Amino acid sequence: MAASKSQGSYFGLFLVGATVLVGGIAGIASATGKLLMLVGVGILLAAAAGFLKIKPLEGETPVERSPEAMKWMGAGVVLLGWVVTIGGLHLVDSNGGRIVASLLGIGVSLFGMLYVLPAAFNKTAFWKTAGGRPARNGFTAVASKATLESELTGGPRAMESAR
Amino acid sequence: MTATLRKNLLSLCILAFGWAVGATAYAQAAAAPAQPPAAPASVSPATTELREAAAKAPTVADLQKGDPGGTLTGTIADVTMTDAKAGPTLADAGNQIGQNKVAINFVWTLICGFLVMFMQAGFAMVESGLTRVKNANHTYMMNFFVYGCGLLAFWLIGFAIQMGGAAGNANLGGLNPLTGEQGISLFGKTWGLFGKTGFFLAGSSYDVGVMVIFLFQMVFMDTALTIVTGACAERWKFITFSVTSVIMGALTYPLFANWAWGGGWLSQLGTNLGLGKGYADFAGSGVVHSVGGLTALAVCLIVGPRIGKFNRDGSANPIIGHDISAVLIGCFILAFGWFGFNPGSTLGASANGNLRIGTIAVATMLAGCTGTFGAILYMWIAKGKPDASMSGNGLLAGLVAITAPSGFVSAPSAAIIGLVAGVLVCVSVSFVENVLKVDDPVGAISVHGTNGLWGVLAVGLFADGTSNYGGSWNGVTGSVTGLFYGDASQLAAQLVGISTLMGVIFTLSFAINMVLEYVIGHRVSAESELNGLDIPEMGQLGYPEFVFRPEPVFAAAA
């Protein structure tokens, strides 16, 4: 679909909703503030519904569906690392112990960030399966076209030919 | 009779004249201001000296002749006096000195903020130069519009979350309206979570000092936002980029910035747990660059690599940017803007140890220099060519890494930090691309994420304990001192900061962008991507007359 009038309209609605919501948060102590918050949330939900409605119009993207649970698990592991660090601060009193606990937490977060999450997203990466699945013939056609045209290295190779 | 009449008239005239003169004199006496009271006996010698100096100051007549040497302009006559007739007092002089100090700091902070704002131009050139012609307009537009999205969000709520409880900055007059930090009591201590004053910059935050800190913090925030646009260039839907930029400027960035700079819990690690001077991040290796770099990684994972970046066996194809001159000029603009970023983070040039701005500026220059050397030498030795784009990234990596330590380290330490960053960025780019299989067209994850974290760590290692910003940092007396200079607890505080950046900020960014993936979708269609995003997303080519000739024509021409 690319950019469209609908996108612009719903983005405008999103900005209005956000502004009203913040107005409500700023005056949260008053009844007006609470009302504004509710109105703001309502407008934001309307904008979200609009975005959801026009999402399929974008057309076929190259990204394949990948395991959602694994993605969220990866994010959970990253967060767990922070919990380990904070827990360590309160369980250990010495500087050395706190440094070790923090390093342990960082290690856990890195495991989630650099191993679990990439594995989740790359499990069904489109570049592994280009030209494969019947259900994605449309994409396969354009991806193959891209490969054949060597658009990535087209410029430099053209220069080599010129030489 | 006539003579008598004349005599009487003469007497009457004399009487009238006498009355008139007397009345005028009386009226003048009544209208004239009271004579300056005689100096009371309690006037101090200093005040007397001030008044004598005022009496000797050049007069208007002197100044009307011109002052080519500048020796007559700017004297005690220019001091604002509460009672001009009485002359200057010690209180007048003291008030003027105080206002001069704050004025110098206002001007310094504002000008540095203007420099940081100009970095947006550098980012736009670097990112667009490293992408292909068919996406130039789209990439430039993301860099352009991120400024507006971030500014709007920060004005609405981001500033309140970040700085709503940041009162007490002596450099900028106290920032006294910003007193609303929401805390939580845990383990017998109160920990700051987020600010809650300054929404819309209205009410009590309609204050001269608050406006200055808003401008300065806003341009920092926008720097973090624009990091993501480079990492996700050439396949990111403009609408999703716009929405996520607003959310990042409103929530993700301000939250961590509050914890580090706004009186939040990371800055309280020193006062509450005795960890050094608390989390110390002078100009934002963590707050700005790591937040941007880690968010870039989260969005890059979700949006996926560009078509053609990876082959079926997982090997990566180089995708050449369209304008290396834009890249390198952009890097210079960024290096120039960094003189606002780091020295400006003193938030003043007068008092409270702010004369260290020269040291900070030199540390910034040196780290950028050694970062460039690190990257050039690494690429030259390992790959055979001093790669231009990696050289630019080396410069930026050095600058990113020195951003947090710049206020606390010596020149030799800055050079070492930059050199490590220059090598680290090359290794990290290769790791992200070849091991993680994450496509980052400009190397933003490595430049800002990896080296931002390195900068935060470097504070805990290299801070030499010589800085003195008003005698304390984060409410803890003394100077920030790293492990190599004897304080291991500062390293612990920095590691907690790194863990928070990865564990909380990355996860929060990831969760927000996953929700946006479900609702809006991050990725453009394959067709749009292959045709280039300029027409489908922007409706206009970046370079309408720039047409590639097919290869055979090229060959024939040769």
Q: Where are the domains of chain B?
A: 102-165+195-538
- Across the interface, whether the CB atoms of A62 and B523 are under 8 A apart is answered yes
Q: What is the pLDDT of residue A88?
A: 94
Contact B536 A2 (CB under 8 A): yes
Q: In the predicted model, is pLDDT for residue A100 greater than 70?
A: yes
* pLDDT-above-90 percentage for chain B: 83
Class of domain B102-165+195-538 as given by CATH: mainly alpha
Q: Does B510 touch chain A (CB under 8 A)?
A: yes
- How large is the average pLDDT for residues B217-243? 97
Q: According to the model, what pLDDT value does residue B544 have?
A: 87
Instruction: Pick left, alpha or beta for residue B65 (phi over 0 → left; psi -120 to 50 → alpha; otherwise beta).
Output: alpha
Q: What is the mean pLDDT of residues B514-531?
A: 95
Q: Can you give the pLDDT at residue B266?
A: 98
* B460-489 residues touching A, CB cutoff 8 A: 488-489
CA distance B178 to B171: 15
> How far is Cα A9 from Cα B337, in angstroms, rounded to an integer?
36
For residue B292, give the nearest of B141, B119, B125, B108 by alpha carbon: B119
Counted across chains A and B, CB pairs separated by less than 8 A come out at 216
pLDDT (average), residues B373-392: 96
Q: Is the pLDDT of residue A145 over 50?
A: no
Q: Is the pLDDT of residue A136 over 60?
A: no
Residue B524 is nearest to which of A61, A122, A161, comparing CB atoms? A61
Which of B438, B495, B555 is nearest residue A99 as measured by Cβ atoms?
Answer: B495
Q: A5: which chain B residues are within 8 Å (Cβ-Cβ)?
A: none
Contact criterion met (CB < 8 Å) for A59 and B526: yes
Beta bridge partners of B186: B189
Residue range B476-499: mean pLDDT, rounded? 97
Contacts of A47 (CB under 8 A, 6+ apart): A10, A11, A13, A14, A17
Phi, psi of B32 (to 5 degrees): -65, 140
In terms of DSSP bridges, do strands B189-195 and B472-473 run parallel, antiparallel, or are they unpaired? unpaired
Pairing between β-strand B472-473 and β-strand B476-477 as defined by DSSP bridges:
antiparallel
Q: In the structure, what pLDDT confidence band is assigned to residue B557 with cuts at 50, 70 and 90?
A: very low
- Residue B550's Cα: distance from chain center in Å? 46
Query: For chain B, give me the number of helices (H) and strands (E)?
Result: 21, 4
Choose from A113, A115, A128, A148 for mutation: most chain B CBs within 10 A.
A113
Which residue among B242, B273, B436 sits closest to A89, beta carbon to beta carbon?
A: B273
Q: What is the mean pLDDT of residues B492-507?
A: 98
Q: Note the pLDDT of residue B491.
A: 98
Check residue B383 and give its pLDDT.
Answer: 92
pLDDT level of residue A140 (50, 70, 90 thresholds) = very low
Least confident of A75-79, A123-127, B245-249, B489-493: A123-127
Name the pLDDT band for B546 (thresholds 50, 70, 90).
confident
Closest chain A C-alpha to B543 CA, distance in angstroms: 16
Query: Element (H or E) spanning B186, and its range?
Result: strand B181-186
Contact criterion met (CB < 8 Å) for A59 and B527: yes
Report the alpha-carbon distance of residue B165 to residue B261 in Å, rounded: 10
> Residues B179-200: what's their mean pLDDT?
94
Distances (CA, A) of B314 to A70, A121, A123, B427, B479: 21, 14, 12, 18, 49
Query: Helix (H, G, I), strand (E, B), or coil: what is residue B195?
Result: strand
**CA–CA separation, B299 vs B142, rounded Å?**
15
Across all residues in chain A, what is the average pLDDT?
Answer: 84
Is A22's Cβ below 8 Å from some Cβ in B?
yes
| Cα–Cα dist B406/B464, whole Å | 11
Q: What residue of A is the nearest CA neighbor of B269?
A: A89
Q: Does A71 touch chain B (CB under 8 A)?
A: yes
B100 contacts B60 by C-beta, under 8 angstroms: no
Please say whether the beta carbons of B358 and B366 come within 8 A. Answer: no
Question: Does A45 contact B at CB distance below 8 Å?
Answer: no
Q: What is the pairing mode between strands B476-477 and B189-195?
A: unpaired
Give the mutation candidate from A25, A68, A85, A157 for the B interface (greatest B CB count, under 10 A): A85
| Predicted local distance difference test score (pLDDT) of residue B184 | 95
Region of A45 on the Ramachandran plot (φ > 0 left; ψ -120 to 50 alpha; else beta): alpha
Provide the pLDDT for residue B41: 55
Residues facing residue B189 across a β-bridge: B186
For residue B238, give the chain A residue with the closest CA. A3
Give the per-residue pLDDT at A133.
45
> What is the model's pLDDT at position B447?
98
The answer to whether A39 touches A16, Cβ cutoff 8 Å, is no
Summarize the confidence of residues B18-31 as an average pLDDT.
44
What tens digit of pLDDT does each residue of B273-328 get?
999 999 999 999 999 999 999 999 999 999 999 999 999 999 999 999 999 999 99
Phi and psi at residue A130, in whole multiples of 5°?
-55, 130
Q: Are B292 and B444 in contact (CB under 8 A)?
A: yes
* Poorest-pLDDT segment among A101-110, A136-145, B358-367, B453-462: A136-145
- Model confidence band, residue B42 (pLDDT cutoffs 50, 70, 90): confident
What is the predicted pLDDT for the residue at B85? Answer: 85
Q: Is B311 on the interface with A (CB under 8 A)?
A: yes
Question: What is residue A87's predicted lDDT score, i.e. its pLDDT?
Answer: 95
Which of A7, A14, A143 has the CB atom closest to B526's CB atom? A143
* B362 CB-contact burial (10 Å; exposed 0-12 / middle 13-18 / buried 19+): middle
- How far does the CA of residue A89 sit from the closest CA of chain B (Å)? 8
- pLDDT at residue A48 greater than cutoff 90: yes
Backbone angles phi and psi of B188, in degrees to 5: 80, 5
Neighbours of B121 (CB within 10 A): 16
pLDDT of residue B25: 44
Of A62, A81, A128, the CB nearest to B502: A81
Q: Quick: pLDDT tens for B53-84.
A: 999 999 999 999 999 999 999 999 999 999 88
Q: What letters, b where the CB count within 10 A reaches 16 and e where it falls short, cover B156-185?
A: bbbbbbbbbbbbebbbbbebebbbbbebee
Q: pLDDT tens for residues B437-461?
A: 999 999 999 999 999 999 999 999 9
Residues of B in contact with A86 (CB under 8 A): 496, 499
pLDDT surpasses 90 at A122: yes
Contact (CB<8Å) A125/B498: no
- Closest by Cα among B252, B218, B210, B213 to B116: B218
| pLDDT value at residue B19 | 47
**The residue type at B461:** L
**Average pLDDT of span B346-365:** 95
Confidence of residue B210 (pLDDT cuts 50, 70, 90): very high
Distance separating alpha carbons of residues B273 and A37, to the nearest angstrom: 37
| Paired sense of beta strands B189-195 and B181-186, if any | antiparallel
For position B14, what pLDDT does the model report? 53
Q: How many residues does chain A have?
A: 163
pLDDT tens by residue, B128-157: 999 999 999 999 999 999 999 999 999 999
Backbone angles phi, psi at B183, to 5 degrees: -115, 175
> If you measure CA to CA, which chain A residue comes closest to B433?
A118
Residue to substitute from B430, B502, B543, interface A, most A β-carbons within 10 A:
B502
